[in-house]
Chains A and B, each alone.
Chain A
């Protein structure tokens, strides 16, 4: 079982051993976080934003402490020959021997959260956030997180190569609670890629929180590639606070896990912020994926673009809840939100719910949602050129996904996503290079 009570008991056992247990602010916050989780338990379908996503099956699972498992081969396989700065986490713990930070420019502080907690806990405190933010699942993350990535980019620092954070669920029934803290001072730029993969096939839990704080004119691209195994539970939150003129691009690519939930919140703390939330998911079998987003247009002249695309096969279920909140005075806001789902089976189901709350004047806000099947006209066109039905269907399914993939600017990252999709989609391997 993994009810609130079991986690309270687990916390009592682990508390003193967690990195940072001797850091007063953190020890106190963990206790408060655990108390919140004990009181609230896992989010339930009685909560509006969890209406379509039940964690009842998660509660019935048992998780076990991590064991020593080698993940070196999987690291090699995921990384391939790609350059960049690689931080590897096995069952939530940073593994220096598998990581390769490469060479970082002056002013770029990239290390594990556990290291940062030991050497500079005050700096961590500024970026850490609190137990009251987000869902009760995020509070459980605060209580148990002791590792993750700690990234601080000084003013004007530009990372040419992406920072890759590779999280591997390696042990049987592992539960991990990574917390990634990203701070970009003014004009800093970087791409940060979070990979989530599983090594085995047992039921695992990843409860992860990433916080990003962008000062004026900073530019951060964040890619999340969720490819956990088919029995995994993945609960992820991404919280972004943006300063004046900053640009944040998020690409949430969710392909694995039996249940994946992604909560993304971006809040504008200054004028002329720009945000792109681009999402793509594929679910088959009885798997379930849920994206909930909130863009807080709290300041004037902010621009947000939100595009989510889902491909659903078999009896899979997809959920999208997108809230756009335009505060009083946030004039000149320009927001577009789209959610498009492609159902490959009659039994697959997709729910999309846009929520626009506008309290300002002079606002451009557009939203739309579609749920559909493969276009018959396109099928006829391809077949009338000699392509068989299966090939035509595969092409059009891929094409649907490709429109989300094309928004990823960095070529090697885009290619990774293309490979991931091709290995998932029916007949994907036969598609060759389409785009």
Chain B
């Protein structure tokens, strides 16, 4: 589904990703862990198409297409979804309008008829129940004045509605209390299916108690330095990141 080969990327002339390789197949859940500054967020931003990040070399194959050549919205429409670490507030635009526009943009691309207001509301209201959002959040401006947890629920709601083929969760667990974390995890787990893949980017192993990954990768210095199964996350929890030999000596976040 996704095949990243020797990816090098920089932001503001600072090299961040330095030869990253990763293969994700349908049905798999990959966790990417690593200390602050290791390139976790850069990876998700590059995959989503953020223009302030420059890809220096390497390739990303996305279901047979060159992902790096695709405009941001084409990536989204073809089934790539990134849940933002810091969702953006858009005052003046109702969440309902935003969600409907997103759902219909994706449906148009898939050759499906657009949902009308009635069908959309029915669908969104039922999904909101499952992520524990009150209906009033439909009529409020996108993310405006939402608490940290409410913003993350809104991200999960978008993910649920858009039914992506690959969802990337960029530190979705950061700043969440345990209840919100469970809601996020439930939303993600409901989405798990043999034809869908997930990349869970996190600093802490805590989220992985609820979203059990098939693979765990450790990102350090801009590349994956170690891969393993679920047990690798537990090992990291126990020993911190310090023991990863490739870590730069100044590596921050040595203990989780």
In the assembled complex, how far is the CB of residue A396 from the closest CB belonging to chain B, in whole angstroms?
Answer: 7
Chain B residue at minimal CB-CB distance from A433: B97
Is B9 in contact with chain A by the CB < 8 A criterion?
A: no
Are A432 and B90 closer than 8 Å at their CB atoms? no
Whether, in the assembled complex, A80 has its beta carbon less than 8 Å from a beta carbon of chain B, the answer is no
Question: Which residue of chain B has its CB nearest to the CB of A401?
Answer: B92
Whether B101 and A387, one on each chain, are in contact in the complex, defined by CB atoms closer than 8 angstroms, is yes
Which residues of A from 330 to 371 have beta carbons under 8 Å from B? Answer: none
B177-203, CB under 8 A of A: which get 1 and which 0?
A: 000000000000000000000000000
The docked-state distance in angstroms from the alpha carbon of A435 to that of B91 is 9
Stretch from B17-25, B72-80, B129-137, B215-223 at the A interface: B72-80
CB pair B105 A402 closer than 8 Å? no
Nearest CB to that of B106 among chain A residues? A386
A403: nearest chain-B partner, CB-CB: B92
Is A23 an interface residue, CB under 8 A from the partner?
no
The interface bits of chain B over 64-103 (1 if a CB of A lies within 8 angstroms of the residue's CB, else 0) are 0000000111011100001010011011111001100110
User: A389 — which chain B residues lie within 8 A by C-beta?
Assistant: 71, 73
Residues of B close to A378: CB separation below 8 A: 88, 90
Distance between Cα atoms of A263 and B152 in the complex (Å): 46
Chain B residues contacting A384 (CB-CB under 8 Å) are 48-49, 72-73, 75-76, 82, 84
Q: Which residues of B contact A382 (CB under 8 A)?
A: 90, 98
Complex CA–CA separation, A433 to B94 (angstroms): 9
Instruction: Find chain B residues with CB under 8 A from A433 CB.
Output: 97
Contact pick for A381, options B51, B52, B90, B109, CB 8 Å: B90
**Residue numbers in A under 8 Å from B77 (CB-CB):** 386
CA distance A434 to B138 in the complex (A): 11
Which of A377, A386, A403 makes the CB contact (< 8 A) with B76? A386
Q: Which residues of B lie under 8 Å from residue A391 when comparing CB positions?
A: 101, 105
Is the CB of A385 closer than 8 A to any CB of chain B? yes
Residue A399 at the chain B interface, CB threshold 8 Å: yes
Asked if B38 is at the interface (CB within 8 A of a chain A CB), the reply is no
How many inter-chain residue pairs (CB < 8 Å) link A and B? 87
The count of residues in chain B whose C-beta lies closer than 8 Å to any C-beta of chain A is 30
A191 to B77, CA, bound (A): 47
Provide the residues of chain B in CB contact with A395, threshold 8 Å.
90, 93, 97-98, 101
Instruction: Please judge, given known A-B contacts A380-B50, A381-B84, whether A386 and B93 are in contact too, CB under 8 Å.
Output: no
List residues 382-430 of chain A with CB under 8 A from any CB of chain B.
382-389, 391, 395-396, 398-403, 406
Interface SS majority for chain A: helix
Residues of A within 8 A of B98 (CB): 382, 385, 395
- Could you say which residues of chain A place their CB within 8 Å of the CB of B88? 377-378, 380-381
| Interface residue from A380, A386, A400 paired with B102 (Cβ < 8 Å) | A386
B205 within 8 A of A: no
Asked if B92 and A386 sit within 8 Å, CB to CB, the answer is no
Cα(A101)–Cα(B162), bound, Å? 52
A388 to B72, CA, bound (A): 8
Distance in angstroms between the alpha carbons of A6 and B93 in the assembled complex: 50
Q: In chain B, what residue has the closest Cβ to A379?
A: B72
Closest to B101 in A: A387
Q: What residue in chain A is nearest B78 (Cβ atoms)?
A: A386
Residue of A nearest to B91 (CB): A403
Please report which residues of chain B, range 40-75, place their CB below 8 angstroms from some CB of chain A when the two chains form the complex: 48-52, 71-73, 75
Q: How far is the CB of A424 from chain B (nearest CB, A)?
A: 16
Contacts of A406 in B (CB 8 A): 92
Say how far A12's CB is from chain B's closest CB, in angstroms. Answer: 52
Contact between chains at B49 and A386 (CB < 8 Å): no
| Contact A380–B93 (Cβ < 8 Å) | no
* Residue of B51, B77, B91, B93 contacting most chain A CB atoms (<10 Å): B93
A20 to chain B, nearest CB (A): 46
B145-166 CB contact bits vs A (8 Å, 1 = yes)? 0000000000000100010000
Q: Roughly how many angstroms separate A322 CA and B163 CA in the complex, as a whole number?
A: 50
In the complex, chain A residues whose CB is within 8 Å of the CB of B52: 376
Nearest residue, chain B, Cβ from A431: B97
- Contact of B93 with A387 in the complex, beta carbons under 8 Å: no
Q: 20 additional contacts, CB 8 Å, given A381-B88, A398-B93?
A: A378-B90, A380-B50, A381-B90, A382-B90, A383-B49, A383-B72, A384-B73, A384-B82, A385-B105, A387-B102, A388-B73, A388-B105, A389-B73, A395-B97, A395-B98, A396-B90, A399-B92, A402-B91, A433-B97, A434-B92
**Residues of B near any A CB (own CB < 8 A):** 48-52, 71-73, 75-77, 82, 84, 87-88, 90-94, 97-98, 101-102, 105-106, 109, 141, 158, 162
In the A-B complex, the 4 residue pairs with the smallest Cβ-Cβ separation, listed nearest first, are: A402-B92, A399-B92, A386-B105, A385-B102
Offer 28 A-B interface pairs, CB within 8 angstroms, sorted by A: A376-B52, A378-B90, A380-B88, A381-B90, A383-B71, A383-B72, A383-B76, A384-B48, A385-B158, A386-B73, A386-B76, A386-B77, A386-B102, A386-B106, A388-B105, A391-B101, A391-B105, A395-B97, A395-B101, A396-B93, A398-B92, A401-B92, A433-B97, A434-B92, A434-B97, A435-B92, A435-B94, A435-B97
